[in-house]
């Protein structure tokens, strides 16, 4: 695989994004890490993958800040060329029962998780098309976006929106041989799930265990591959059989 195949992973300083970065670096992709606040974690991930990916780099931006995202990504593309792949992994949650859900909890989750789709992809898509890169766009939704979840009306709305946006964009980009697919993880071991009642959760998962970040990363790796060139507009779940 050519190391010219650059892949941007948003929210990749730790957790699922970090697992993706490590897995894809092993496959030979040139990884572009993104972080917002945790510079130390991003640098640790960078050092971890550098032996596998000497040209790995880091971009700092907040996916909810449209102007900042555009400036950083446009500068990177101008200097190094369009991306081959983009993985929209950055996201947050702010859980609360709907009657108690505050305006800022709704706005912050929607601005980060859903607006990030537009903010990140807007400056990326046309360079892909113009350079005739048969690229890969992979968005990260959630089981909450497929079936909803109590206490997560805001998060479920954002993740369901990502599914709809991904399907629509897939139609637009298919003629350019750019695929757009959505991955919907179930309950995966991460910082976001570390405080959940694990024993109770396992009872609702047919496989009776939580997923591992590497299991999601493996699917991402396949969707980026040449072998996945005829797969687009799909939502693929990694959830141990929950739905």
Which one of 29, 84, 155, 230 is the catalytic residue? Answer: 155
CA pair distance 10, 33, nearest whole angstrom? 7
Percentages helix, strand, coil for the chain, rounded to the nearest 5?
A: 50, 15, 35
The answer to whether 112 touches 64, Cβ cutoff 8 Å, is: yes
115-130 and 66-80 helices, crossing angle to 10°: 20
- Residues forming a β-bridge with 139: 88, 182
The answer to whether 87 touches 140, Cβ cutoff 8 Å, is: yes
Helices (H), 37-65: 39-49
Q: What number of other Cβ atoms are within 10 A of residue 97's Cβ?
A: 10
Active site residue 84: no
Residue 179 belongs to what H/E stretch? strand 179-185
CA pair distance 57, 42, nearest whole angstrom? 10
CA pair distance 126, 184, nearest whole angstrom? 26
- Annotated catalytic residues are 155
């Amino acid at each position: 695989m050519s190391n010219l195949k650059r892949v941007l992973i948003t929210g990749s300083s730790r957790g699922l994004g970090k697992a993706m970065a490590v897995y894809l670096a092993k496959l030979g992709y040139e990884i572009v890490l993104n972080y917002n606040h945790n510079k130390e974690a991003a640098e640790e991930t960078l050092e971890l993958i550098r032996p596998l990916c000497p040209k790995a780099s880091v971009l700092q931006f907040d996916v909810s800040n449209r102007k900042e995202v555009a400036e950083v990504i446009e500068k990177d593309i101008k200097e190094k060329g369009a991306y081959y792949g983009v993985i929209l992994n950055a996201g947050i949650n702010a859980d609360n029962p709907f009657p108690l859900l505050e305006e800022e909890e709704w706005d912050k989750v929607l601005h980060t998780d859903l607006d990030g789709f537009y903010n990140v992809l807007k400056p990326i898509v046309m360079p892909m098309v113009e350079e005739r890169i048969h690229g890969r766009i992979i968005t990260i939704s959630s089981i909450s976006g497929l079936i909803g979840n109590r206490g997560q009306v805001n998060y479920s709305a954002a993740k369901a929106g990502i599914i709809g946006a991904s399907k629509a964009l897939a139609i637009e980009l298919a003629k350019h041989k750019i695929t757009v697919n959505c991955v919907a993880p179930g309950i995966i071991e991460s910082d976001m799930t570390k405080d959940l009642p694990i024993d109770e959760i396992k009872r609702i998962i047919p496989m009776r265990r939580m997923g591992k970040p590497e299991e999601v990363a493996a699917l991402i790796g396949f969707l980026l591959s040449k072998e996945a060139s005829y797969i687009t507009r799909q939502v693929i779940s990694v959830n141990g059989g929950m739905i």
